[in-house]
Amino acid sequence: MQYLSTRSDRPLAGEIAVPGDKSLSHRAVLFAAMAEGTSRLAAVLDSEDVRASIAAVRALGANVDITAAGDRGLELTVTGWGAEGPRTPDVPIDCGNSGTTARLLLGILAGWASEVTLVGDESLSKRPMGRVTDPLARMGASFESPTGTLPVTLRGGGLKGIDYVTPVASAQVKSAILLAGVQASGRTTVREPASSRDHTELLLPAFGVPVGRDSAARAAWVDGPATVRASDITVPGDPSSAAFIVVAGLLVPGSRITVSGVGLNPTRIAYLDVLDRMGADIRIQPTEAAGAEPTGTVHVGYTPELRAVVVRAAEVPALVDEIPVLALLATQAAGETRFEDVGELRVKESDRLAAVIEALTLLGASARAEGDTLVVQGPSELRGTGLDSHGDHRLAMTWALAGLAADGPVTVSGFEAVDVSYPSFSADLAALSANS
């Protein structure tokens, strides 16, 4: 599917609520499937990735009923497998394009004496799984994966807690180990070189599993075995999806946009700190919490003069998904913007580092890699061109925004990738344009 994006001839204006947080939607579904009892989940993101998690837990024995589906996402009732454990499926579990589904399931299933094979689509089958299977094997699970990628066959059960230092800061890796620790004997501790997203640490206690934390040491732990109990959860808006609406407002002259009901977890909104340093007109208004997650409203106004910044390596884990759209915005900032130590982009849904440099160059901007550092020089006049999403939802949305500021049409091939996280993205952009 191709998407045609053209320079906006009017400001973007209005208030919008982005879809439910993808990371939290996955975790709510997966944790409810592990639990004793029935959980009620609201505002769950209706996307291909989350549907992959729903299909996976159904195949493993959880009962999932979709009681409503609408603009605010899915409403689900989930009766988990609890103390009986997941059933052994007759066929491999298909995780689609979802790395979160695959990696967190490896942790969840590692504690049970069953054999399960996980598979994924072509893109997911290129992503590394050894960073998860290696620590889980130290706990006592066994794996067959000749290439270190999917497909992976897991044989679990009889886990013992470990104290593990991750080589990279990754919420998926940390979560997989902690979830394995729920069924393990003794304490399981994960230590990271930098702080990653902490949704698992915040949400597990809502399901009855205490999580210890030492923020200074960047450590989290669980004591197992522990009982997961049903919980009712409402998912806040996804801050990563909000980032694209916010940047749209910064690209189109005269725009003023309000994004309401968005998650404001500090491990997810580092991109707003970067935008503030760039001089962007951004205002954050906290509101009520959704479960353990802080939420609020983000107000953004077009800012004609942005300045270049340096994004340090320590910041990257908290904004790695927003780097493509921040790199696009950096083409409009005065000076050299540097994103340090972003090699993790090479193993996302696509090689995002190479894809960003290729696309920004086609748009007429100056972008290059210095080792694992992405360098963007601005300001640049963007020109119309054809761009490829490479099947990556973040890239598809980023290149759609490029057309709003380019001097000619930008066509985005493979735009259907947005269905992974933000199916209503193009409709929401059109609504904001119509409001001016």
Within 10 angstroms of residue 182's Cβ, the number of other Cβ atoms is 25
Distances (CA, A) of 132 to 139, 143, 276, 414: 11, 11, 35, 30
Q: Within the chain, how many helices (H) and strands (E) appear? A: 12, 24
Cβ proximity of 24 and 427 under 8 Å: no
Q: Which residues are catalytic?
A: 321
| Residue whose structure tokens are 């209005």 | 14
Closest CA relative to residue 248, chosen from 276, 280, 210: 280
> DSSP for 67-127?
EEEETTEEEEEEE--GGG-PPPPSS-EE-TT-HHHHHHHHHHHTTSS-EEEEE--TTGGGS
| Residue whose structure tokens are 């794996």 | 143
How many angstroms separate the CA atoms of 247 and 340, rounded?
21
Structure tokens at 308: 């270049």
How many angstroms separate the CA atoms of 57 and 77, rounded?
13
Closest CA relative to residue 179, chosen from 127, 141, 150: 141
Residues whose CB falls within 8 Å of the CB of residue 138, separated by 6 or more in sequence, listed in order: 162, 164
Amino acid in position 361 = T
